[in-house]
Amino acid sequence: MMDEKVKDLEIVLNWKALVLVVIAGVCITLLLGFAESPEVLLRHVTRYGYPLVWRVVREFSPAEYNLVYLLADFVFWIATVFTFVAISDGISRKLRS
């Protein structure tokens, strides 16, 4: 029983997988910084980032960045990628055994 729990935690203890998860989460966040947010609140204002808008571009002015929302997006996407990797790793282990 205890050995099964230790095997389930292998994905957490594998530092190479964690580094790849963090890199993937950061890349997804930065790529979504180029995707326009669907909500339209003001004309001539374009918002970027998902799920939180962390980059705002106003007409005739430089881009504004909300670093708190950017960090929250990093955490969100890292957690999402980690969950996906952990579930897919668990499923592949169950299929192999």
The string of DSSP letters for 45-95 reads EEEE-SSS--EEEETTS--EE-HHHHHHHHHHHHHHHHHHHHHHHHHHHHH
pLDDT band at 64; cut points 50, 70, 90: very high
Which pTM was predicted? 0.79
Give pLDDT tens digits for 67-85. 999 999 999 999 999 999 8
Maximum mean pLDDT: which of 4-18, 48-62, 66-80, 83-97: 66-80
Residue 92 has pLDDT above 90, yes or no: no
